[in-house]
Structure 1
Amino acid sequence: MFQSTTKKIVSEIDPDGFTLFPVKSPYDSQNCKPLHLLLKKKKQLFSSREHYAPTPFTLTDIFIDGQDLDFGLSSSIIACFSQDFSTSVKAQVCVDSGHVDVGAHVSGSSSDTMSSVEMRKHTISDRTLLDAAKDRKVNREHPFVKQMKNNMVYVILEVIETEHACSVNNSAKAATGLKFLMKLLKAEAEVGMSQEKKLTFPAGTSIAYKVSELKIGQNDTLDLNWEKCYECFKTSSSDKKEPLATILAELTKMCVDKKPLFLNVILEILGHGDSLTVLDEMLDQILDNLQPDFQVLDRTEEDNRACVEKMLDLLGIKREVPPGETLALTPESRAIIRATNILIRSLSEMDPETLILLASSVKAEIISKQLKLVTIIDDRWPDGPVYQREDEEDPEKFLITQFTDEEFEITQHVMEEVGFQLDRESASVLRIMNQKQGDVLALFAALYALNALCD
């Protein structure tokens, strides 16, 4: 809930996504303050933006004299935000085969309400900081500096915080059922689930931050990185699909008995989106051949902790090995973990509502159709909005007509999240120009992985 809420707020106050980074976890909030240092992480597959990990270290910690900087911190109220959102989906699948009638249905709803939150911005300019740090030398022996891979220092110079306490309420309901009818047999089953969550943001909780890049010079003083350049991903999502599919195809090699267990855990994770951030971090550590830090789970909500522990158990990762020690992974295990990591990252890019829709798609058994649809229309129309011509017999038009009304409703909502608008009557498709390619690629990866597990 925390990450999905901060992402929504940032999308409103920084719609282009060029300036602010949403805080991912309430545990990171205390480290997302002015002058706190960040570790730069590897670029994500589904985003052209840089990614950073907050640390408890501040800029003054790495100076030789260790004295606080003397500067004026600008502070101002910038915005007030509130939200009231709800969505619902339902699907029904029926098969009539002679004397046997099998039917399955799934329905779900989700609503989010956020009380009005007033936000305050705390900021210091690059020039003010450098003037305050003039002639101050960096301690090359400091543990943080020694682990840096280059002379670049990433520091937080702007923070958006809550001015007063506020709360977020999330309500989710889901139901699945199975009906099996024969001449001499009638059986029905129904499973329902409801979940109520409430998250309180205390006053002063960091919502988002802005990063500045400084360079340690030859005399160990700081300066702006004038050589910094901003690179854009020129590779289309279509070009990235093939290597992604190759990695994710490892999930198809999973033993038959393990696939349903794995899929069930993924479905649980779809209902507990906050577990994605924790699992992503731990899988990164595993792929670096290190035992993940299980202590993070001790500060995680019980439901999210259970999801993460089940996934790690299926991947063969146990608590017994101390954190930081090298793991001995077989090539087969590493391939499955790498594929799982990509799936988790793709899901992390999505809103909670989309995760519920994907769970409904699995239950309705339409993942394979959705995968074909996404692949076809993204490959055909990689740039900008294009309407499908009425006289064309395109494969995507045929696929759309194969959905039942309920299946189409689920798929329509899923596709809207990544910039495709579907029309039921004309079986036409419109692509929205301002949608990010990374969103489409994330959906492709998620559908490909889920399809591999459902196969």
Structure 2
Amino acid sequence: MFNRVTQSIVKEMDPKGDRDLVPVHSSFKHEHFKLLCLVTRKKKNVFHPFHCYRRTWYKLDDILLPGKYSNSTESLFPSGGSQDAKTFTIKQNTCDRVDGSLNLSVATTSLELNGVASLSKEWSIKLEKKHIEVSKLEPLRTERRINMNHSFIQQLRKKQHKLYVVCETLETSEETSYEESSKAEGSLMAQLYTKFCAKGTRESEQSITIPKGCTVAFSAIQLVIEDKPWDPGCFQSITVRSTVPGPVQRKLSTRAAPSEGNLGALEEEVKWNCQILSMLSSDLAVIVLKAIKAAMRDRKLFQELTQRMQALLDETASCELETQSPDLKDLLSSLQRCPRDPLLELSEAITYALDALDELTMDQLLLLLESLEEKIVSQQLQLVKSILEHNLDNKEGRFSVDASLLSFSQERKEKLTIVMVEMSGVKLQKDGSAVYAEAAFSAMAALYVSLYVLNLLSNSD
């Protein structure tokens, strides 16, 4: 829920992307995206609508050598009464209700259906913009150099990762509550040879309280890491060559960055990132799939698995692959016995899959798990691929897909698929006609990657 709120805020505050505002994904991590916090940027994927950054647990002051006149960066922070402080208020209140009924009589059979569904969202949030001007970093740049012997800096240079510093934030100026509720009521009356009546009600309420001072979005500038006065905001690559040998280095250096916004680029990206998954033994594929399915059911497990994979990529957890979760234990034990180069490639593939799954809603993840049980993921993958063959980058539009792709052995499977696709911004009818919402490509691309990975792992021999 927090992620949905922060994405809505960024779309409202920066609709054209001119300010490069990035939504914070989790309220548990907001402290790591304050002013002057250091972050690294994750590899950009076709399905990501925003740049994605990782926390590092460090601030700018932590990696700088002591200066002659000043040892602190506190003077850079805006004062409480600064004229630069700006406040904003964003409100959203939506309520949708649908009523329907159906009466059907055939020979001695009669059927009556009635249904009511409603969805409401309500929130109002007050935000304060905080920023540090790049010009104010100039005196600090000449006075204090980066500590090139710092273990964190050495790790970045070895992995050839770029480093960024948070220079602007949007923070809540007061405690805020977000509420989302849905309610569905239905009744069924059928008269066959005997009379049958049934009624059902399903209600769902979700809420989240966002504390005062919570970072909901930020922007960052790059720091160039060199053994001389550091340079903020010039957006150059680190000049030190990587010492990582083997197939992982060749993989990263030879792959061309795909162009965004088309199915061909997405297919190239997903095949490249997931090629190792197609080469796993059947036993290991089952273990990987088990861990991913467990993470899809439990948000805490999802975060734990994501952190473990990222730690492996950063080479900070070579001996820390223990877990209290029996659902992740088999995978982490298998990875601990894996040679270094395949270990990094497999960790990268799992991270890529988790990034795609993280773009989906919790309801979609549960529908995907049900699709796995029903063994319809392969057909769903073909359906989503046919949808992505159309241009979904326009604000809105209509198109048609092959209606046979919506033909399932049971109507329940068909409805499950239609609902899951609709959650990614495309409404489908049984005849194959479709309507898509604004910016549906990214959401549909994330669904495609998720289906691709689940289909690949579930069909491994």
Aligned counterpart, 2:303: 277
Is residue 249 from structure 1 mapped to residue 278 from structure 2 by the alignment?
yes
**Contact 2:274/2:349 (8 A) holds in 1:** no
**Contact 2:309/2:351 (8 A) holds in 1:** yes
Work out the percentage of aligned pairs sharing the same amino acid.
Answer: 23
Aligned counterpart, 1:361: 371
Equivalents in 2 of 1:366, 1:147: separation in Å? 44
Deviations 1:267-290 (A, max 9, x none): 553343454333222123335665
Aligned counterpart, 1:346: 356
**Contact 1:346/1:445 (8 A) holds in 2:** yes
Aligned counterpart, 1:291: 317
1:120 shift after superposition: 1.4
What amino acid is aligned across from residue 116 of structure 1 in structure 2? S
What amino acid is aligned across from residue 6 of structure 1 in structure 2? T
The 5 Å alignment of 1:41-120 reads 41-44=42-45, 46-47=47-48, 50-61=51-62, 62-65=64-67, 66-68=71-73, 70-71=75-76, 73=78, 74-82=84-92, 115-120=123-128
Q: 1:30 aligns to what SS in structure 2?
A: helix
In structure 2, relative to structure 1, the CA distance for the partners of 1:202 and 1:296 (3 Å cut) is: farther
Aligned counterpart, 1:13: 13
Count of residue correspondences: 389
Deviations 1:335-365 (A, max 9, x none): 7666544432221122333223323434554
Deviations 1:267-315 (A, max 9, x none): 5533434543332221233356653797998xxxxxxxx7xx2342131
Equivalents in 1 of 2:95, 2:298: separation in Å? 18
Deviations 1:153-196 (A, max 9, x none): 4111111111112234577999xxxxxxxxxxxxxxxxxx9997
Aligned counterpart, 1:310: 326
1:132 shift after superposition: 5.9
Deviations 1:6-55 (A, max 9, x none): 33443443345561222233342222211122234444564385432223
In structure 2, relative to structure 1, the CA distance for the partners of 1:449 and 1:213 (3 Å cut) is: closer
In structure 2, relative to structure 1, the CA distance for the partners of 1:333 and 1:57 (3 Å cut) is: closer
In structure 2, relative to structure 1, the CA distance for the partners of 1:195 and 1:312 (3 Å cut) is: farther
Aligned counterpart, 1:375: 385
What amino acid is aligned across from residue 85 of structure 2 in structure 1? S
In structure 2, relative to structure 1, the CA distance for the partners of 1:351 and 1:421 (3 Å cut) is: same
The 5 Å alignment of 1:182-261 reads 199-215=208-224, 219-225=228-234, 233-234=259-260, 236-243=265-272, 246-250=275-279, 253-255=281-283, 259=286
Aligned counterpart, 1:422: 428
What amino acid is aligned across from residue 51 of structure 1 in structure 2? C
Q: 1:270 aligns to what SS in structure 2?
A: helix
What amino acid is aligned across from residue 21 of structure 2 in structure 1? L
**Contact 2:294/2:301 (8 A) holds in 1:** no
In structure 2, relative to structure 1, the CA distance for the partners of 1:69 and 1:453 (3 Å cut) is: closer
Aligned counterpart, 2:444: 440
Q: Structure 1: state its 5+ residue gaps.
A: 89-108, 175-192, 298-305, 319-325
**Contact 2:379/2:405 (8 A) holds in 1:** yes
In structure 2, relative to structure 1, the CA distance for the partners of 1:216 and 1:454 (3 Å cut) is: closer
Residue of 396, 403, 414 corresponding to 1:397: 403
Q: 1:79 aligns to what SS in structure 2?
A: strand
Equivalents in 2 of 1:293, 1:7: separation in Å? 36
1:211 shift after superposition: 0.5
Equivalents in 2 of 1:312, 1:359: separation in Å? 17
**Contact 1:4/1:351 (8 A) holds in 2:** no
Q: CA RMSD in A?
A: 4.5
What amino acid is aligned across from residue 448 of structure 2 in structure 1? F
